[in-house]
Amino acid sequence: MPMLRVNRARQTGLLAGLLLLVAQSTWALSHELSSPDGRVKLQINQQQDLTYQLTVDNQLVVKPSAIAMVFTDGVRFDGRAVLVDSRRTSYKAVVTPEVAVRSSKIPEQYNQLTLSFKPGFSLTFRAYNQGIAYRFEGHLSDNATLLNEDSNFNFAAGTFAFFPFEKNFRTATQPTFTPLPSKSIDGDELGSLPALFVAQGINLLITESDLQDYPGMWLKGRGDGSLYGVHPRNLNEAGQLTEEIATITRKRSYPWRIIGVARNDAELLDIQLPYLLAEPSRLKDSSWIKPGKIAWDWYNENNLKGVDFRAGINTATYKYYADFAAQFGIESILIDDGWSTHEDVMTLLPGIDVPDIVDYAKSKGVSVQLWVPWSGLDKQMDQAMALYKRWGITGLKVDFMNSDSQSMVNFYWRTAEMAAKHELMINFHGSYKPAGLHRTYPNVLTREGVKGLENHKWSDAITPTHNLHLPFIRMIAGPMDYTPGAMANAHRKNFNAVFSRPMSLGTRAHQVAMFVLYESPLQMLADTPSSYQAEPAIPEFVAAIPTVWDDYRVLHASIGEYLVMARRKGDKWYIGAMTNEQPRSFVLELDFVDSGRYQMNSLADGINADKHAEDFRLDSQLVEKGQRIKIELAGGGGWTGILTPD
């Protein structure tokens, strides 16, 4: 009997010890990380899987979601790895962008947790007041093939989505944003980034940054409200898709996965994580980078009138564009497709003399930019860019990539680096969404990756509602070349998609407001000079609006419905307002301006804009700090004000 009691005591002690070890192990493999204000909280757990979950204001918005990386040689960055170290840091600074897309000073503050594992990788999480981000980093010094990255977003029940459906990976990434329950998205459907989800009343914007030598991330659903990341595959030498997503060195960092957090729609405009998480600028000198506006030919098909030459892709037409730009203080003109073949981008076609156009434009104080297809440019990039620089070209619009596979992402980086070498600015069209490149190479001023104005040439999908999805979703990823400025404007009952003589849905004032509300350091004027010259008040007003900004205030905001926003450049304020198909009125409280009086010049919907979308009104009045101003917008309408200290 005494021996039995001893054995039981020993068993009890062993069991207690084992329970203690399990408890300690469980504690050691669970980590919490909070934002500086304590309202955004991450919990990271390691058991069979590595998972994270996200809580905002004590509401669970993303349930435990697994993340991992799997290589073809069997190496895995996942929960089976051995945790060897954890480090916490905090950071607070102010970032000064070389090209100020939204603001000239960006506060950056976060708490960071880095977990290091065997075999040779680490996982870093950051918690900002505006959201969270994580990235893997490999420490193995070898080359490898990545079979898959496992990225999951297991949203809380009842989550709603604004989902950017795409047909396949080969696309110019120009989605509309479809409102629907997240559980309606299944594995047969594909979505690009950025994408917006509303969980427990909290806006969650998914995107990525520091995308280098790696394919872009896309989304699919499981039909239960959860989503997961997928990636385009590379092509092999035979032109066939591979099973793997990337061939890489394992000693590297991987893209940041971002979930931006906003408790209301206005706060979405405070999310600048894609920029902050990008690699800082590699340029030693950026003084040659000149943001501004640019007159564009392709949308309007060079439909000129009242001229004594045959309009088209020829020297006389682009000299006329230079005269127009000089007349209204527009910094640049663009020569779009048609000056060369797509295969040979160093030989001019008959009828157009680009160096002569450049010299003429320069004499007028106007610079010239050039369209090039990526395929022709990539064959002889250094030589072609050197030639363009000798011609006096200041920037390139590079087009038709229509992919973010690893190889195409690398083309973007090659192009940005080579363009910087030759002091050329870049505008990517036929492109994927911004993912940090414009910080690392600030000569990349803007890109498409947006369903913009040109779609009116063949579609009625560019509605005022769509136009009010863009600032809250697509624009959060970075600059977007929507190409505003349509002079032919119509409401739905009068709209027709006419390729050669396009019109926009919504009012003229709606188009003008885009120059304040849409962020693009290179901002197109899309319509024909003849149309602008017939109503010079429009180009005069638009030319007075900057394309880069010092500060901003969101005054009224609702996704897909309306946006009223003030932006500051120097001592002037610029206010833009847009509404969807619903007419609206707003009260502007001028509590954000400095003390004193301001001359406010405004362009508003005219009294008949609800019937005739081109009707607009110009007003001027003295205003002062604290004053309340009522503005009226027609359905599909807009309003723009420029406040200059008196």
CA 522 to chain centre: 14
Whether residue 455 is predicted with pLDDT greater than 60 in this model: the reply is yes
| Whole-angstrom distance, CA of residue 642 vs CA of residue 620 | 9
Mean predicted confidence (pLDDT) in 438-462: 98
Confidence band, pLDDT 50/70/90 cuts, at residue 553: very high
- How many other β-carbons are positioned within 10 Å of the β-carbon of residue 96? 10
| Whole-angstrom distance, CA of residue 6 vs CA of residue 282 | 71
| Whole-angstrom distance, CA of residue 105 vs CA of residue 557 | 23
User: Angle, to 10 degrees, between the axis of helix 381-391 and the axis of helix 354-363?
Assistant: 40
pLDDT at position 24 is: 36
Mean predicted confidence (pLDDT) in 501-526: 98
What are the residue ranges of helices labelled H in 145-286?
273-276
Our answer to whether residue 399 is catalytic in this structure is: yes
| Phi, psi for residue 585 in degrees, rounded to 5 | -125, 150
CA 124 to chain centre: 23
Identify whether the C-beta of residue 270 lies closer than 8 Å to the C-beta of residue 264. Answer: no
- pLDDT digits over 264-289, tens only? 999 999 999 999 999 999 999 999 99
Whether residue 37 is predicted with pLDDT greater than 50 in this model: the reply is yes
Identify whether the C-beta of residue 29 lies closer than 8 Å to the C-beta of residue 86. Answer: no
pLDDT at position 21 is: 38
Helix, strand or coil, per DSSP, at residue 132: strand
Question: What does the longest C-alpha to C-alpha distance in the chain come to?
Answer: 118
Could you tell me the CA-to-CA distances from 486 to 156, 407, 492, 570 in Å, in that order? 42, 36, 15, 28
Which of 363, 367, 387 has its CA nearest to residue 377? 387
Write the Ramachandran bin of 147: left for phi over 0, alpha for psi from -120 to 50, otherwise beta.
Answer: alpha
Confidence band, pLDDT 50/70/90 cuts, at residue 577: very high
pLDDT at position 242 is: 79
| Angle made by CA atoms 189, 190, 193, in degrees to the nearest 5 | 150
- pLDDT digits over 15-32, tens only? 433 433 343 344 348 999
Can you spell out the DSSP letters for 496-534? Answer: ---SSS--EES-HHHHHHHHHHS--SEEEE-S-HHHHHH
Mean predicted confidence (pLDDT) in 444-462: 98
Q: Which residues pair with 94 in a beta bridge?
A: 107
| Percent over 90 (pLDDT), the chain | 93
pLDDT at position 244 is: 87
Write down the residue that tokens 């005219």 correspond to: 606
Confidence band, pLDDT 50/70/90 cuts, at residue 220: very high
Type of residue numbered 407? S
| Whole-angstrom distance, CA of residue 574 vs CA of residue 567 | 5
Type of residue numbered 55? T
- Cis-peptide, bond into residue 119, ω within 30° of zero: yes
| Percent over 70 (pLDDT), the chain | 95
- Mean pLDDT (the chain) is 95
**Residues composing the chain:** 646
Which of 208, 265, 399, 527 is the catalytic position?
399
Residues in Cβ contact with 315 at an 8 Å cutoff, skipping those fewer than 6 apart: 351, 352, 353, 356, 357
pLDDT at position 29 is: 84
Whether residue 166 is predicted with pLDDT greater than 80 in this model: the reply is yes
pLDDT at position 426 is: 98
Identify whether the C-beta of residue 325 lies closer than 8 Å to the C-beta of residue 533. Answer: no
Confidence band, pLDDT 50/70/90 cuts, at residue 258: very high
pLDDT at position 243 is: 83
- pLDDT digits over 584-597, tens only? 999 999 999 999 99
Which of 331, 454, 614, 615 is the catalytic position?
454
Confidence band, pLDDT 50/70/90 cuts, at residue 236: confident
Identify whether the C-beta of residue 240 lies closer than 8 Å to the C-beta of residue 168. Answer: no
